[in-house]
């Protein structure tokens, strides 16, 4: 009888141990399914981030994640060999994962050879969604079956435990020592099972936290990618700073701050815009020495809970307060400083490791380049439309603007006057004083003309010493009065050149008015020019309108 109880006890312990081993195996399969999905998500997130930003760190992360997916799917296949149904699903999951990695590899290769835009255009969202749907469906099915197996194996383990306890109770009559030994064995195995269960639950919690962090980072990367696309379409500085402020608040909820731009004097930064309700106040203007970020050319962070910090003097005294964080980001392009972005937010919103700092740093880099490109476009546009010597518009701009203004005045039934102006005896002045003095004279005449016209008038250098002014909505009498003011201003002005006072000179002006003197730009220019030469023939230094006899 004692031998039978001993044999039965040994058999019960063995069955319980085997049952617990299967329970552990089930937990391993469930955990491996989570590892496979996490590895695939990591590869997808890294590939998408690299495709959207082109950052080399994401490229390295993506390349490193590919073998991790292969190892995870192979390990899952090894664990499910004992179950034909799960083994088939594991192979399906592995094949789908490889297909998805192949699609990611195709887009990666396309990006490496043809650039970011080509890879973005080639992205097949539908295919990606279908592959993800198949991966999630297969993973869910495998997880559901493993949970069913886990419940059944736990029930079986419980039955084995109950049977073993009954045998032990019966054996107590024969041997108290055998009972104690069996109870210790059962207790040990149960503790191990509970420990395994706790480990599995802890791993599941950690995985949830990791997935939440991945989802948050993916959302932030999406916002940064959206910002990059919209930034390229901004045409004004106001649009750029508005978009940037909105994006900062999306990346860091509750954030506030200011945008500073380096002024032409190269000596101070002036605030051009702010966003959010200021948690930390900053001055409207600052010198480079007032900010540690501008001094060092690197981001500078201040955390309210830290006592020993280098505080920027452009912030209010005593800031940042506990619970808040301040971040100054220098804006630069081509190695030259062009401004500063100051961001302040609660410490909780900024407390995500280095991820938020890195995202804001990338935003600041793109912002600096966008502002520099906008300034360059404005400079090139001004150079293409302005005469560099006089600062007036050039002939190309005159031809475009005269046709446009003439059509507008014609539609509204309003007059338009064209003035042709020419400096009298300019060649003689040039021959007497030299070309440099002639250039100085033309610059002075250009300033006198610009000062004598209205804001809506278009003053241009037509060529040489000849100028043209388009005066929309001004009739003949008004144009003659304006022209007379310009002629008198030029007549009394002198030019300072190489320490000498040159001049004054005189100017002849011819005027033609739409619609009486012409209905096309060519006709008005011809009539004004002919009238100009008539004014010169009548003695120069005078204003003549086409209608004057």
Which positions are annotated as active-site residues?
465
Q: At how many degrees (to 10) do helices 2-53 and 176-231 cross?
A: 10
Residues 160, 204, 93, 26: what is their CA dihedral angle, to the nearest 10 degrees? Answer: -10
DSSP 8-state class, residue 528: H
d(CA 119, CA 124): 10
Yes or no: say if 216 and 208 are a contact pair by the CB < 8 Å rule.
no
Say whether the peptide bond before residue 296 is cis (omega within 30 degrees of 0): no
The sign of the torsion formed by the CA atoms of 182, 187, 188, 194 equals positive
Is the separation of the CB atoms in 445 and 378 below 8 Å? no
Distances (CA, A) of 427 to 30, 206, 419, 466, 495: 94, 87, 21, 12, 16
Query: How far, in Å, CA of 507 to CA of 510, rounded?
Result: 10
CA triple 208-212-216, angle to 5 deg? 170
Answer for the pair 244, 261: CB distance below 8 angstroms, yes or no.
no
Looking at residue 302, what DSSP letter applies? E
Q: Is 263 helix (H, G, I), strand (E, B) or coil?
A: coil
Tell me if 145 sits within 8 A of 85, measured CB to CB: yes
How is residue 79 written in tokens? Answer: 């664990």
- Main-chain dihedrals φ then ψ at residue 157, nearest 5 degrees: -65, -40
Report the alpha-carbon distance of residue 508 to residue 254 in Å, rounded. Answer: 65
Alpha-carbon gap, residue 507 to 445, rounded angstroms? 9
């Amino acid at each position: 009888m004692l031998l039978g109880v001993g044999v039965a006890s040994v058999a019960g312990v063995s069955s319980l141990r085997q049952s617990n081993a299967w329970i552990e195996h089930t937990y391993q399969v469930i955990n491996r399914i989570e590892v496979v999905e996490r590895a695939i998500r990591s590869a997808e997130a890294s590939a998408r981030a690299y495709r959207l930003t082109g950052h080399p760190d994401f490229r390295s992360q993506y390349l490193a994640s590919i073998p991790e997916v292969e190892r995870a799917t192979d390990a899952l296949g090894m664990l499910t060999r004992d179950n034909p149904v799960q083994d088939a699903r594991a192979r399906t999951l592995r094949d789908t994962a490889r297909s998805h990695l192949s699609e990611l590899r195709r887009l990666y290769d396309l990006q490496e050879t043809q650039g970011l835009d080509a890879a973005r255009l080639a992205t097949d969202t539908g295919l990606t969604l279908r592959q993800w749907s198949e991966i999630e469906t297969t993973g869910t099915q495998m997880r559901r079956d493993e949970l069913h197996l886990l419940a059944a194996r736990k029930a079986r383990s419980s039955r084995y435990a109950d049977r073993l306890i009954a045998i032990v109770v019966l054996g107590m009559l024969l041997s108290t020592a055998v009972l104690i030994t069996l109870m210790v064995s059962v207790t040990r195995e149960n503790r191990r099972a509970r420990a395994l269960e706790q480990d599995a639950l802890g791993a599941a919690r950690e995985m949830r936290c990791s997935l939440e962090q991945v989802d948050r980072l993916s959302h932030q990367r999406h916002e940064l990618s959206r910002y990059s696309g919209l930034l390229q379409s901004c045409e004004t500085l106001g649009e750029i700073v508005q978009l940037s402020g909105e994006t900062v608040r999306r990346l860091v909820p509750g954030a506030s701050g200011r945008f500073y731009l380096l002024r032409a004097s190269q000596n101070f930064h002036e605030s051009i815009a702010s966003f959010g309700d200021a948690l930390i106040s900053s001055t409207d203007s600052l010198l480079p020495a007032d900010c540690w970020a501008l001094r060092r050319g690197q981001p500078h962070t201040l955390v309210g809970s830290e006592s020993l910090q280098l505080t920027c003097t452009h912030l209010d005294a005593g800031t940042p307060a506990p619970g808040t964080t301040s971040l100054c980001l220098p804006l630069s392009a081509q190695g030259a400083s062009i401004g500063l972005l100051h961001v302040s937010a609660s410490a909780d919103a900024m407390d995500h490791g280095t991820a938020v700092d890195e995202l804001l740093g990338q935003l600041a880099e793109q912002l600096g380049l966008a502002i520099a490109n906008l300034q360059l476009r404005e400079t090139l546009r001004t150079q293409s439309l302005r005469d560099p010597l006089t600062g007036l518009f050039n002939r190309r701009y005159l031809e475009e603007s005269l046709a446009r203004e003439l059509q507008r005045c014609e539609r509204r039934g309003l007059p338009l006057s064209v003035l042709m102006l020419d400096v009298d005896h300019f060649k003689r002045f040039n021959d007497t004083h030299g070309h440099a003095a002639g250039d100085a004279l033309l610059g002075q005449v250009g300033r006198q003309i610009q000062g004598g016209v209205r804001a809506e008038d278009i003053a241009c250098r037509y060529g040489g010493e000849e100028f043209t002014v388009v005066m929309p909505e001004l009739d003949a009498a008004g144009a003659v009065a304006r022209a007379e003011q310009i002629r008198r201003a030029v007549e009394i002005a002198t030019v300072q050149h190489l320490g000498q006072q040159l001049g004054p000179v005189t100017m002849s002006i011819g005027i033609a008015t739409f619609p009486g003197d012409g209905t096309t730009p060519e006709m008005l220019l011809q009539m004004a020019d002919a009238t100009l030469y008539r004014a010169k023939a009548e003695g120069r230094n005078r204003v003549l309108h086409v209608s004057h006899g």
